[in-house]
Homo-oligomer: A and B are copies of this chain.
Amino acid sequence: MAKENSENPRFICGLHATLHVISGKWKPLILFFLNKGPTRYGELKRSVRGVSDKMLIQQLKELESDGIVQRTDYGEIPLRVDYSLTPFGASLVRAMEPLCGWGEEHEEDIAAAMGRRKTSR
C-alpha cells in the first residue's frame, strides 16, 4: 500500500495543472459558494466578503476561461447575470474535498505553524 506511491508518476504535471486553475486569492471562496448553486454576480460579491469588483470579475473570468465556471447572461432589461459551476468545475470541487478534509483535520497544527512563522521572523 505504501509501496505503490513510492514510484508514482501521477503527480507533478497533473498537480501543476490543477494548481494553475485553483490558485488565486479568491478562487477557493468563489468555488465554495458556486458549489451551492448558480449565483448572481451581486449575491456572490456579498458572499465573498472583502473582494473588490475588480478581483471578483477577474477571478471569475479566469475560472470561466478555464471551463470551471459558466457565466449566464439572461439578457434581461435590468442587468441579470449569474455564475455556476460547469460539470467540469463540479468534478474539480469533488477532487478538492480531500484537501479540505486534510486542512480541517489539521487546522490547529497549521495555524500553530503559521503563528510560529510570523513570530520567528
Contact = CB atoms under 8 A, between A and B. Distances in A.
A102 B95 contact: yes
Number of copies: 2
Nearest to A121: B65
B35 A99 contact: no
Interface in A84-121: 88, 91-107, 109-111, 113-114, 116-117, 120
A88 B103 contact: no
The dominant DSSP class at the A interface is helix
B35 A103 contact: no
Interface in A53-108: 62, 65-67, 88, 91-107
Contacts of A120: 65
A101 B14 contact: yes
